[in-house]
Amino acid sequence: MAIYRNELPQLSGDLFLMDAGLETDLMFNHGIEIPGFATHTLLSDPKGRDAIANYSRRFLTLALEQDAGFILGSQTWKAHMHWAGDQGATEEELHEANRDSVAFIAGLRSEYSDKAKPIVLDGVIGPRGDAYAPEKEITAHEAEKYHAKQIGWLAETEVDMITAYTLTQSNEAIGIVRAARAADLPVVVSFTVETDGNLPSGQSLKDAIVAVDEATESGAAYFMVNCAHPDHFSHVLEDRDWSHRIHGICCNASRKSHAELDESETLDDGNPVEFGEQHKAMRDRLPWLNVFGGCCGCDLRHVTEIAHALAR
């Protein structure tokens, strides 16, 4: 049964941590192959399942040590029908993958339930198509209809909320918010931006957030930015109503663009200490930020440095 679906504890403003760069950490630091970057495929293999469990436990322990809440995401970013052909999966197999992933993280939460601040189960979804080079624009209606299937699967589980990561189009975000509200699920929208702080379409982060809120009556619980280095977007954040809607950031360790990262054959893990200090600088300037994790190139070191810097 969902615990926090009716009242997300991170909306209190308390510090919540997240994990960091699951895919790049497992692939580059642990030598684990992830077919098509779809981590749910690892759960059917005992070694893959153990690797994700051990990875997650390290972050849960960090949150415990830092007296912080934790948002524990499912491995379902690519467990939807757009990728079924690439994965050779049927609709029922993807449905089961979503159920299994949530059961998996629910089991991890139970290991820490009597020792930690709130652990929120998050059903993770991704865009329809390439997150960094979308094949085509999608209308809000199309997005609502498409994403309703996976959101419906997740609504049947114990998730407390869903988060749509690496979104590049405000219309897709609008459709996702509408589908989540129809399923009575709290939803978070996380946009990705290019090195200029704008979405890949050229739309500004401000305009994207305002568009989603206007079209959905502020239906998203809050917004996030992920898969971009702090240098790429921190300069566009200001003390305005639209930016107060952003509560979380999961940044890349690397300053490289998405195109450069796609071409890279080695991991650029940046400077974890500097990374932590940059997050503290953003939090000092934007004190409503309270959800912190990492994205590509990050690992436990980066979130640890964030937590330590914020504590200072």
Give the pLDDT confidence of 91-116 residue by residue, as tens digits.
999 999 999 999 999 999 999 988 87
Q: What is the pLDDT of residue 93?
A: 97
- Report all structural domains of the chain as residue ranges with CATH numbers, in order of start: 17-311 (3.20.20.330)
Give the whole-angstrom CA distance, residue 121 versus residue 157.
10
Give the whole-angstrom CA distance, residue 211 versus residue 131.
20
Give the whole-angstrom CA distance, residue 17 versus residue 62.
9
Mean pLDDT of the chain: 95
Q: What is the pLDDT of residue 130?
A: 78
3-state secondary structure at position 205: helix
Q: Phi first, then psi: give them for residue 222, nearest 5 degrees.
A: -170, 180
Q: What is the pLDDT of residue 133?
A: 65
Q: What is the pLDDT of residue 283?
A: 97
pLDDT above 70 for 256: yes
The DSSP-derived string for 149-193 is: HHHHHHHTTT-SEEEEEEE--HHHHHHHHHHHHHTT--EEEEE--
Contacts of 253 (CB under 8 A, 6+ apart): 21, 229, 268, 269, 270, 272, 275, 294, 296, 297, 298, 302
pLDDT above 90 for 265: no
**Local confidence band at 123 (pLDDT 50, 70, 90 cut-offs):** very high
* Mean predicted confidence (pLDDT) in 268-273: 94
Count of Cβ atoms closer than 10 Å to residue 184 Cβ:
9
pLDDT above 90 for 217: yes
Q: Which two tokens stand for residue 59?
A: 């972050």
Distance of CA 180 to the CA centre of its chain: 16
Q: What is the pLDDT of residue 47?
A: 96
Q: Which of 118, 294, 58, 274 is closest to 190 using CA atoms? A: 294
* Mean predicted confidence (pLDDT) in 59-83: 96
Q: From start to end of the chain, where are the E strands?
A: 16-20, 69-73, 119-125, 161-167, 187-191, 222-226, 246-251, 291-294
34-49 burial string, b = 16+ CB within 10 Å, else e?
Answer: beeebbbbbbeeeebe
Q: Which of 244, 257, 293, 283 is closest to 124 using CA atoms? A: 293
Give the whole-angstrom CA distance, residue 172 versus residue 138.
6
**pTM tops 0.75:** yes
- What share of the chain in percent tops pLDDT 90? 90
Is the Cα dihedral 262, 263, 267, 270 positive or negative? negative
pLDDT tens string 124-157:
999 998 777 666 789 999 999 999 999 999 999 9
Q: Which of 230, 76, 216 is closest to 156 using CA atoms? A: 76
pLDDT above 90 for 54: yes
Q: Which two tokens stand for residue 31?
A: 């030598």
